[in-house]
Structure 1
């Protein structure tokens, strides 16, 4: 699933038509509109940024970067140009370049909340949860009513094993935002980290209701269904073990494999069987005996 971009373009008829087409999901038409805008205003950053934003939505990231190059050639301090570069690098997982672009964008405008949000996401993916928490807290200071940011905050706190604070942030997110699929994904992941598969399933149901065609959302929903089968949960990590650090879990595993080797082998076999059976049951529950549909491009 692509992240929310919060892109902005200058006011005007072309900009309004472009933004309307983008919001309707008519990305190819939005590209055409941005091209017409560029022909009318070839020496301003706005149409280049519009083209970059459209290319991001069509996953044509090299073209998006080329457009931001042109926007920044015209104005090296163009806030939107740096922002869209950060979004593009985030989408392609080029973290060093994304950090540089975000830093430039925040130098120009330190109150661009979505850049703090993207940095929080990057740090979270890298397992740097303390830095992720500080970044998302900064985003929330700027936009305190943003449910998406609150949902990510809940997920980061769950990764830090601060489950009480994570649950509090999740409740705040639901009060602020009930129509964003990405928010429900974060809330589902947070609930899963807290060892609450029922809530995780509920959150994923809301995510797929809002964005049924997204492949990641479908996969997460089916995984949440799978974790609600009791025989699968029996052989996954008990909730109390999730409080241990990775190196502590490794030591426990090594000790158990030495002292209880036959039992460990049996548990591994049972886990594989429970995983396969629950996955099959979920597929039949969702698709029947048909194959899952192929991903549909937006």
Structure 2
């Protein structure tokens, strides 16, 4: 019995050390001796789901609950398994059962807060975090979750205070610095946000979310990029007004403004990305693909401007208009790259290639009308992309 207990404790430590495969070996040894060891089944479920074996992990969690339905720990561990598996509704159901059996366990409230956070339920996240903090006021992760929820709810004063408190409680917590950075970024301090995200990456180098947020913070420090991105956000809903065009043709001007603002913001993003990707201090934040796309977009702008100048100098309207069409290709390129769904991305890449071919043909055939249509189509890709994402995938 002592050996079994020691093995379970070793497995628990191995899980805390993020060594689920080693934990699995320990736990299977325990279950070979005691097939109905409840705690071993619960920990094995977590070890399996951490290795990507969701089906067997969930089955082990069910087995632990079946063997001990009146133990709060089995339901709590099942909640962890569901949370790791990306099934927040089932996680919340399991955690609520656990809390009904043992409402004084702060980590269960933390897990419930994380599940609500994953679903974007900010008030519920804040409430669960506060319930946990009533039991353990010094839990930095609970304070961080509260700060994240308050940030999403737009409560600048309380969110900033909570994030700072989380960092004070545990200066070595990546979650605390992440919450601090998110609050700073949301409330207009990208420089402080960048410092916080750098600290996250120092403490947890593989934290991809922090890497993406650091890039966003660094870009947001560029005043031009910041203004254009915000204007683009304000006008993003303008695509719904397309149904009013037959009744109000002047709205065409509004749509042109929206499209040009989006294009300008994508150009600013390409320039900012290229600048950061070439700087020694930030070059490792960007993948080769991101850097290449930034170079391509900057080259499209330069090449288009050169063609526009050439067309104007020589009096060749088709060449000049094609130059504008080349510059307009920045929008479809960026929209394709920033699409999460692989299928939608493939369609948008094909659309971009088709537009590029049409621009080239218009120049060869000296057809300014065709080139002008390519300009409109390129700039209008913001709505084409939105439709493709809606049908084939989700927006990032």
TM-score (norm 1): 0.80
The residue number in structure 2 matching 1:291 is 288
Per-residue CA distance 1:259-289 (angstroms, 9 max, x = gap): 7555433322111111222233333432399
Equivalent in 214, 221, 230 of residue 237 of structure 1: 230
Matches of 1:282 and 1:100, distance apart in 2 = 45
Q: Which 5+ residue runs of structure 1 have no aligned equivalent?
A: 1-10, 293-298
Equivalent in 172, 176, 182 of residue 183 of structure 1: 176
* Range 181-190 or range 257-266, more displaced: 257-266
Distance 1:20 1:122, change over 3 A: closer
Question: Which structure: greater helix fraction?
Answer: 2
Matches of 2:25 and 2:145, distance apart in 1 = 34
The residue number in structure 2 matching 1:209 is 202
Matches of 2:49 and 2:214, distance apart in 1 = 25
Matches of 1:55 and 1:219, distance apart in 2 = 28
Structure 1 segment 102-251 matched on structure 2, within 5 A: 102-237=95-230
* Range 158-167 or range 53-62, more displaced: 53-62
Q: In the comparison of the two structures, how many residue pairs are matched?
A: 275
Matches of 2:118 and 2:7, distance apart in 1 = 37
Higher relative contact order (CA 8 A, sep 6+): 1
Matches of 1:175 and 1:83, distance apart in 2 = 29
- SS of equivalent residue, structure 1 residue 18: helix
1:116 Cα deviation after fit: 2.0
Equivalent in 249, 267, 270 of residue 273 of structure 1: 267
Per-residue CA distance 1:226-283 (angstroms, 9 max, x = gap): 3233332232228xx99xxx9x9959x97xx777555433322111111222233333
Matches of 1:73 and 1:27, distance apart in 2 = 23
Computing the radius of gyration over CA atoms, which structure comes out larger, 1 or 2? Answer: 2
1:204 Cα deviation after fit: 0.9
Q: Which 5+ residue runs of structure 2 have no aligned equivalent?
A: 242-250, 290-396
Contact 2:215 2:285 in 1 (8 A): no
TM-score (norm 2): 0.62
The residue number in structure 1 matching 2:49 is 56
RMSD: 3.1
Contact 1:197 1:227 in 2 (8 A): yes
Equivalent in 35, 39, 61 of residue 32 of structure 2: 39
